[in-house]
Amino acid sequence: MAQVLWSGRLEEKPEAEAFAFESSISVDSRLAQEDIAGSRAHVAMLVERGIIPAEAARAIDEELKRIAAELASGKLAIDQNAEDIHSFIEGVLTERLGDAGRMVHAGRSRNDQVAVDLRLYLKRVVPEIAEEIRATCETLLTVAEQHLETVMPGYTHLQRAQPVSLAHHLTAWTAGLVRDRERFLDALSRLDECPLGSGALATTTLALDREAVARSLGFPQPTVNSMDSVADRDFALELAGAAAILATHLSRFCEDIIIWATEEFGFIDLAEQWSTGSSIMPQKKNPDFAELIRGKAGRQIGNLVSLLTLLKGLPYAYDRDLQEDKEALFDALDTSRATLRMFRPMIATARFRKDRMEAACFGGFLEATDVAEYLVRKGLPFRKAHEVAAQVVRDCVAAGQRSIAERTLADLRSRSDLFDADLYEVIRPAAALRNRSRSGGPAPQAVTAQIAELRRRLG
C-alpha cells in the first residue's frame, strides 16, 4: 500500500523510479514506534486544546496503539513502497478510520515530525551504546586487574621506551573509552528538547501546547526556536563525531593488538573464534576481527564527513537534503554498537604471553631514564645526568651489550663516581615498574587507583 499523502497542489506524481529515489522508507522505518509515540502525544494535546473532537481523538489513539502492537508483533508489515514511515503510518490510520485519521496532522509538519522522531530514537539508542562502552571498559579493567605486575615495554615512536605493565596499557585504553561514553551522554543532554509544534518552520495559528507535548514525550522542554528546530542537525553531528572518535580509539587499540599478535612481538594469542585462517597458507592465524574494527574507523570518519558536508551549504530552514542525515547517523550508531560487541569478547578471551612481554624489556635500554633519575637523586642536575646515561648507553652499544646491567660497576664509575651497586636493583624492569608509583603511573598500586577512579566515573 504505497502512500503519497503530501502531494498538495501537485497533480502529477513521480514515476516509479523517481518515487523510489525520493523515498526514505528503507532507512526511516526504524523510527516507526517513535513516530507513533509522537503522534499519540500530539493527538492528546490536540483534544485537550479543543482542536479535534474527543471521539476522534480516542479512535486515533486506540488505532495508533493497535498499529504499534501489530508492527511489533509482525502482524503488520511496513510497506516498502511507501514514501516514508510517516506517510505509511498515517496512511494505515486513514485507511482504517477515514476522516478521523486525517485529523492527526493538524498543527504539525513532516519537518517537525521527523525531528521529534529522530530525537526520540536517539534518546532510546544512545544510552544503549553508552552501556556497550561501559561493559567494554569493565572487561578491560577486569583483565587489567589480572596483570598489575605483568611487565612489558611501553613505546614511543614504536620504539621501546620505558617499562610499564600490561595493566597500565589496558587502563590507558579504558580511560579513552570512558571519555567516549561521556561524549555520547553529553550529546544526549543537548538533543533533549522537543521540536514538535514547530511546524514547517514558523509554528502554527492553532493553539498548540508545546510544553505539554514535550512533557508527555519525556523531554524537559520544547525547543527554543521553531526554525532552528527543523533546520539544524548539530545533535547528529555531535553523535557522529562521538562515534568517529570512539572508532579512532578502537582502531588504535586494534593496531596494538595486530602488532602484538605478530610472531615478531608474540605478546598476545587471540582465541581462534576471533581469528581467521588463510585460503592458501595453512599455518596462518590472522587477527581479522581486529583488522576489521580498525577498518571501520574509516567508515565512521566518512559518516561524520558526510553529515558535515550535507549541512554546510543548506539555507535555513528545512531542505529535503536533510532526508540524507539518517542513513549516515544510523550507520554510525550501528557500527559503534557492532565494533564494541566484537572488541569486548576478543579481549576477554585473549591470552597474554607474559614471558614474551617481560623478555622484550631487555634490550633497547629501557632502563636509561631510570639511570638518569638515579643520578638526579644523588644530586646531579638532570641535563648532566641525562648526558651520563647517554654515554653509558653508547658504551654498551660499542661493547655489544644489550643492557646497562651488563656493565661492571667500574665501567659505570668511569662515567660518574655517583654510581653504586644499588643501581643494579633500581634498573631491573620489575623494580622500575614499582618505582613509578606516582599518580597515573604504571606501578601496581598506582594502576589499582586508576582502575578504581575509572570505575567511579563509569558509575
Q: Among all residues, which ones are annotated catalytic? A: 157, 278
Amino acid at 221: Q
What integer pLDDT is reported at residue 275 of this predicted model?
87
Helix (H) or strand (E) run with residue 155 in it: strand 151-156
3-class secondary structure, 161 = strand
Domain boundaries, the chain: 16-106, 111-206+219-355, 368-443
Q: Report the alpha-carbon distance of residue 53 to residue 32 in Å, rounded.
A: 25
Cα angle 211, 215, 217 (rounded to 5 degrees) comes to 120
Residue 98 grid cell: 477515514
In the numeric block, the cell 637523586 is attached to 377
* DSSP state for residue 194 in the 8-state scheme: B
Q: How far, CA to CA in Å, does 335 sit from each of 119, 129, 149, 293?
A: 19, 10, 35, 9
Chain-centre distance for alpha carbon 393: 43
CB within 8 Å of 3: residues ≥ 6 apart: 79, 82, 83, 87, 88, 90, 91
The mean pLDDT value of the chain amounts to 95
Q: How far, CA to CA in Å, does 347 sit from each of 8, 130, 149, 177, 342?
A: 56, 19, 18, 14, 9
Amino acid at 247: A
Q: Report the alpha-carbon distance of residue 126 to residue 134 in Å, rounded.
A: 12
Q: What is the pLDDT of residues 181-204, one digit of tens each?
A: 999 999 999 999 999 999 999 999
Relative orientation angle of helices 166-190 and 234-260, to the nearest 10 degrees? 170
Q: What is the pLDDT of residues 44-91, one digit of tens each?
A: 999 999 999 999 999 999 999 999 999 999 999 999 999 999 999 999
Q: What is the pLDDT of residues 389-424, one digit of tens each?
A: 999 999 999 999 999 999 999 999 999 999 999 999
Out of 2.40.420.20, 1.10.10.10, 1.20.200.10, 2.30.31.70, which CATH number does the structure's domain 111-206+219-355 have? 1.20.200.10
Does domain 368-443 correspond to CATH entry 1.10.40.30? Answer: yes
pTM of the model: 0.94
Nearest to 370 by CA among 385, 359, 380: 385
Chain-centre distance for alpha carbon 361: 33
* Average pLDDT, integer, range 370-379: 97
State the virtual CA torsion across 366, 368, 370, 372 in degrees, nearest 10.
Answer: -160
3-class secondary structure, 226 = helix
What integer pLDDT is reported at residue 2 of this predicted model?
44
Fold annotation for 16-106:
Fumarase C; Chain B, domain 1 (1.10.275)
Chain-centre distance for alpha carbon 417: 54
